[in-house]
A and B are shown apart, each in its own frame.
Chain A
Amino acid sequence: MAFNIQESADAVAGAVPAPGADTAVAARKIEGRSPWRLGMERLLHDRASMISLGTIGVILLVAILAPVFAALTGHGPNQQFYAPVGLTAQGQPLGPSAHFLLGTDTLGRDILVRIAYGTRISLIVGVFAAMISVAIGAIVGLAAGYFGGLTDTVLARFMDWLLAIPFLLLAISLVTVIGPGLVVLLIVVGGLGWATVGRIIRGQVLSIREKEYVEAARSLGAGPWRIMFIDILPNVIAPIIVYTSLLIPVSIVAEASLSFLGVGIPPPTPDWGAMIADSQSVFEYGAWWYLVFPSAALLITTLAFNIFGDGVRDAFDPRGGQLFV
């Protein structure tokens, strides 16, 4: 009996790490949680966000491991297989088989490997273009909102102008003038997508500018740049995070659209938009796999980022409205 009590006491002591009493007290102490931590906790408890985050992780792995796909299948991303290995005798694509898991395309290339490589372009353009957009939008929004007056008028009108012009029209003409390529695509997608963010940040800054703590900073002698980046920026960091995550799927779709229209990444680099465009010529002859798999990749990726972005918004900016109505 006494032995048993001793044992259970040991078990309890073992369950609590060395400074047992201290941690127990510390755990009971009410701890202030920063808005950042509250947001993270909300995000971690949202199942849809976590599932989409997992999906994003898988997509990221596919992008990183694209060469592994090539090595395992033994098919290079641009390697063509002629009839009868990769094409039918009539020169049509082959459907999914043990050899080509997702079939081949019009030139007898392995769609699986090309989708894996295409993930890289989509992610690079999606993430970096979104970051460029948000960076420009944040700086322009801060400047317009804080300085006000003529600066604001000029910047706000420019943002309106940018929003009024159809994105594809402007993007196509820009790419046509500069010439296609990854960097151009980044600049075009990132450089045209910031107006929404800029407007939202500007609106927030307009209200934050009137806060007493900004006045306090001015009365201490802080200059406009210090106020903008040290006093105001931390207060708009939530929308910045939210819109970065919401702009990623938008940028991915924009890149795919441009490639679909033939002004994106030049061939033969694997790209989802270009693959979907290419598939149209053979779809009516029954090559459904060439249309379905790249489209599914695009759909799953944008959906995952979108749902995750929504989750981030709900977690960090609960009062924030819809970005894209």
Chain B
Amino acid sequence: MNADPTPTPLAPATAADDVLLRVENVVKHFPVQSGALLRRNAEVVHAVDGVSLEVRRGETLGLVGETGCGKSTLARCITRLYDLTSGTVVFDGQDISRLSARRMRPFRREIQMIFQDPYGSLNPRRRVGSIIGDPFAIHRTATGQERKRRVQEVMELVGLNPEHFNRFPAEFSGGQRQRIGVARALAFRPKLIVCDEPVSALDVSIQAQIINLLADLQAELGLTYIFIAHDLSVVRHVSNNVAVMYLGRITEIAPVEQLWQHPRHPYTDALLSAVPIPDPDKSSRRERIILAGDVPSPISPPSGCRFHPRCPKAAPTCVETVPELEPRLGDEGNHLAACHFPVEDGEDLSKSRPTISAEDRVIESGLLGSA
């Protein structure tokens, strides 16, 4: 580790509120219909629709939301795997949202990604050493023995046996494969690692190993994480701040304990009420908020607040105007919620009834607890 010629870029002695990544108004739309010769983009999927957030150096931002809410799309916009429809991504003071592939290359070393599927994210036909050595090969920073040495170094760092660098991914278990994915992301000691549901595909016992590994590496190397998950307890464990997404927008963002204790957005409240409580007595006493209906189609998202068709507190205002993401009910400046009628502390949402007409709501018997 210490023999590494390029010393670990530990978080420099800057202020704690030093912003590493600033995402401003990022929009990503996918055209649904497109002939290759005659481009007729009749409809678009509003995957990400105006997301702004900040990640400070050395901290972890958790990103939660239901499947299809745009978490992974946002991650791929930040890592520039997708081109943005509009908006900016400022990384380390540099706007990277419009850079060409060539100009983007140096930033590729600084921003890395860990993928969800430890089976799909490793090329089955390539040896582990070659997969982890990819960053060195692509950026032509190390060859031959030097590359092998650095690959084995990273393998040791993530708890893999360096002797195994000649094996194929198929010879490893799911957890080990995810370690390989972590090793590949770490090869260049990046500043930011975007973890796209890094543990969702793993056994619970293995999840803990990987989460602890990520935490250790963060402490050791001063990494900054964006941690996407739909498992709220995992997010609570790893994050400093948590952003809740719904249908391509952020509904609430706050420091993790603040969010857990004082959820302002009804959606956040509903999500949190779906987290299982291990104590059966407590669990049965708790009121679960059951959301009606399904997530609306991102092709034609609802007007106003996108949550209004399912919200127990929905009112005519929610249909008409988009709520701003701002501090509500006298919260501090780091706790923002996009809701016209934020949830008061101790309010029981399961007793609320919306005041808008039934046509504006999804009336369905198929109910989702959602988490």
Q: Which of A215, A221, A234 has the most CB of B within 10 A?
A: A221
Cβ-defined contact, B115 with A215, below 8 A = yes
B124 interface neighbour in A152, A153, A216, A235, Cβ under 8 Å: A235
Cβ-defined contact, A217 with B134, below 8 A = yes
Contact with A along B173-213 (1 / 0, CB 8 A): 00000000100100000000000000000000000000000
Cβ-defined contact, A32 with B170, below 8 A = yes
Cβ-defined contact, A220 with B108, below 8 A = yes
Instruction: Tell me which residues across on chain A come within 8 A of B109, comparing CB atoms.
Output: 221
Closest CB in chain A relative to B147 CB, distance in Å: 14
Closest B residue to A30 by CB, please name it.
B171
Cβ-defined contact, A218 with B81, below 8 A = yes
- The B-contacting residues of A in range 219-277, CB under 8 angstroms, are 219-223, 226, 230-231, 234-235, 237
Instruction: Tell me which residues across on chain A come within 8 A of B37, comparing CB atoms.
Output: 150, 153
- The A-contacting residues of B in range 112-138, CB under 8 angstroms, are 112-113, 115-117, 120-126, 131, 134-135, 138
Cβ-defined contact, B104 with A219, below 8 A = no
Closest B residue to A150 by CB, please name it.
B36
Closest A residue to B131 by CB, please name it.
A213
Cβ-defined contact, B117 with A220, below 8 A = no
Closest B residue to A224 by CB, please name it.
B101
Q: Is A35 an interface residue (CB 8 A)?
A: yes
Instruction: Tell me which residues across on chain A come within 8 A of B81, comparing CB atoms.
Output: 215, 218-219
Cβ-defined contact, A219 with B79, below 8 A = yes
A223 to B138, CA, bound (A): 8
A222 to B133, CA, bound (A): 12
- The A-contacting residues of B in range 88-124, CB under 8 angstroms, are 101, 104-105, 108-109, 111-113, 115-117, 120-124
Q: Is B353 an interface residue (CB 8 A)?
A: no
Closest A residue to B126 by CB, please name it.
A234
Q: Is A211 an interface residue (CB 8 A)?
A: yes
Cβ-defined contact, A216 with B168, below 8 A = no
Closest A residue to B136 by CB, please name it.
A220
B123 interface neighbour in A152, A223, A234, Cβ under 8 Å: A234
B117 interface neighbour in A150, A212, A237, Cβ under 8 Å: A212
Q: Is B40 an interface residue (CB 8 A)?
A: no
Closest CB in chain A relative to B96 CB, distance in Å: 13
Contact with A along B65-95 (1 / 0, CB 8 A): 0000000000010010100000000000000
Asked, given contacts A32-B170, A222-B138, A237-B125, whether A212 binds B115 with beta carbons under 8 Å apart, the answer is: yes
Asked, given contacts A152-B36, A219-B112, A222-B138, whether A213 binds B121 with beta carbons under 8 Å apart, the answer is: yes
A234 interface neighbour in B105, B125, B138, Cβ under 8 Å: B125
Q: Which of A35, A153, A216, A234 has the most CB of B within 10 A?
A: A216
Closest CB in chain B relative to A219 CB, distance in Å: 5
Q: Is B139 an interface residue (CB 8 A)?
A: yes
A150 to B39, CA, bound (A): 11
Cβ-defined contact, A213 with B167, below 8 A = no
Asked, given contacts A35-B125, A149-B36, A153-B36, whether A221 binds B120 with beta carbons under 8 Å apart, the answer is: no
Q: Is A34 an interface residue (CB 8 A)?
A: yes
A216 to B134, CA, bound (A): 10
A152 to B36, CA, bound (A): 9
Closest B residue to A219 by CB, please name it.
B113
Instruction: Tell me which residues across on chain B come within 8 A of A219, comparing CB atoms.
Output: 79, 81, 108, 111-113
- The B-contacting residues of A in range 290-304, CB under 8 angstroms, are none
Cβ-defined contact, B115 with A220, below 8 A = no
Instruction: Tell me which residues across on chain A come within 8 A of B108, comparing CB atoms.
Output: 219-221
Cβ-defined contact, B138 with A226, below 8 A = yes
Q: How large is the interface on A (under 10, 10 to 19, 20 to 34, 35 or more residues)?
A: 20 to 34
Asked, given contacts A32-B168, A152-B36, A216-B113, whether A222 binds B125 with beta carbons under 8 Å apart, the answer is: no
Instruction: Tell me which residues across on chain A come within 8 A of B121, comparing CB atoms.
Output: 211-213, 215-216
Instruction: Tell me which residues across on chain A come within 8 A of B125, comparing CB atoms.
Output: 35, 234-235, 237
Instruction: Tell me which residues across on chain A come within 8 A of B139, comparing CB atoms.
Output: 221
Closest A residue to B121 by CB, please name it.
A212
Closest CB in chain A relative to B353 CB, distance in Å: 44
Closest B residue to A36 by CB, please name it.
B125
Closest CB in chain A relative to B36 CB, distance in Å: 4
Asked, given contacts A222-B138, A226-B138, whether A212 binds B116 with beta carbons under 8 Å apart, the answer is: yes
Closest CB in chain B relative to A150 CB, distance in Å: 6
Closest CB in chain A relative to B188 CB, distance in Å: 9
Closest A residue to B114 by CB, please name it.
A216
A211 to B139, CA, bound (A): 22
A234 to B122, CA, bound (A): 13
Instruction: Tell me which residues across on chain B come within 8 A of A222, comparing CB atoms.
Output: 134, 138
Instruction: Tell me which residues across on chain B come within 8 A of A231, comparing CB atoms.
Output: 123, 126
Instruction: Tell me which residues across on chain A come within 8 A of B117, comparing CB atoms.
Output: 212
A213 to B134, CA, bound (A): 11
A32 to B171, CA, bound (A): 6
Cβ-defined contact, B170 with A220, below 8 A = no
Cβ-defined contact, B138 with A216, below 8 A = no
Closest CB in chain B relative to A164 CB, distance in Å: 19
Instruction: Tell me which residues across on chain A come within 8 A of B122, comparing CB atoms.
Output: 213
B138 interface neighbour in A149, A212, A220, Cβ under 8 Å: A220
A234 to B123, CA, bound (A): 9
Q: Which of B36, B109, B122, B135 has the most CB of A within 10 A?
A: B36
A24 to B260, CA, bound (A): 59
Closest CB in chain A relative to B331 CB, distance in Å: 35
Instruction: Tell me which residues across on chain B come within 8 A of A230, comparing CB atoms.
Output: 126
A280 to B108, CA, bound (A): 69
- The B-contacting residues of A in range 74-100, CB under 8 angstroms, are none
Instruction: Tell me which residues across on chain B come within 8 A of A149, comparing CB atoms.
Output: 36
Instruction: Tell me which residues across on chain B come within 8 A of A235, comparing CB atoms.
Output: 123-125
What are 12 A-B residue pairs whose CB atoms fall within 8 Å in the complex? A32-B167, A32-B171, A34-B168, A149-B36, A212-B115, A212-B116, A213-B120, A213-B122, A216-B121, A221-B105, A221-B138, A226-B138
B-binding residues in A (CB < 8 A): 32, 34-35, 149-150, 152-153, 211-213, 215-223, 226, 230-231, 234-235, 237
Closest 6 CB pairs of A and B: A221-B108, A234-B125, A212-B121, A32-B171, A153-B36, A212-B120
A35-B124, A220-B134 given. 6 additional CB < 8 A pairs? A153-B37, A212-B120, A213-B120, A213-B122, A218-B81, A220-B138
A-binding residues in B (CB < 8 A): 36-37, 76, 79, 81, 101, 104-105, 108-109, 111-113, 115-117, 120-126, 131, 134-135, 138-139, 167-168, 170-171, 181, 184
